């Protein structure tokens, strides 16, 4: 969506999502949205039905060329070596 559309806040602090935004994001009546506030902006995101599927592959570039089994073992060893109270 490249066009900026204005919406009005009702006296009950509600807004209507423009049809262009609903169609582009496939938002239907009853769907839930996440509200994120960043740097003075309100960002509405469709709430995923399945968070595992939604987050799959997130930051996969961070783990490139890293042996994850070795990394995990180092983390476990560090926890075991930590002093306890």
Judge whether 70 lies within some domain. Answer: yes
3-class secondary-structure state, position 50: coil
Structure confidence at residue 59 (pLDDT)? 80
Q: How confident is the model at residue 85 (pLDDT cuts 50, 70, 90)?
A: low
Q: Give the total number of structural domains in the chain.
A: 1
Structure confidence at residue 75 (pLDDT)? 92
Element (H, E) at 25: helix 19-25
42-45 long-range contacts (CB < 8 A, ≥24 apart) are 44/17
Judge whether 2 lies within some domain. Answer: no
φ and ψ at residue 15, rounded to 5 degrees: -130, 160
| pTM, full prediction | 0.54
Structural domain for 75, as ranges: 19-81
Judge whether 31 lies within some domain. Answer: yes
Judge whether 3 lies within some domain. Answer: no
Structure confidence at residue 29 (pLDDT)? 94
What is the C-alpha to C-alpha distance for residues 53 and 82, in angstroms, rounded to an integer?
A: 34
| 31 closest CA partner among 42, 47, 9, 45 | 47
Judge whether 11 lies within some domain. Answer: no
């Amino acid at each position: 969506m490249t066009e900026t559309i204005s919406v009005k806040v009702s006296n009950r602090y509600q807004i209507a999502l423009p049809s262009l935004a609903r169609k582009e994001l496939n938002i239907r009546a009853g769907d839930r949205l996440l509200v994120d506030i960043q740097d003075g902006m309100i960002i509405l995101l469709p709430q995923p039905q399945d968070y595992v599927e939604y987050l799959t592959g997130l930051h996969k570039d961070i783990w490139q060329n890293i042996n994850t089994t070795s990394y995990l073992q180092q983390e476990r060893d560090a926890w075991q070596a930590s002093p306890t109270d």
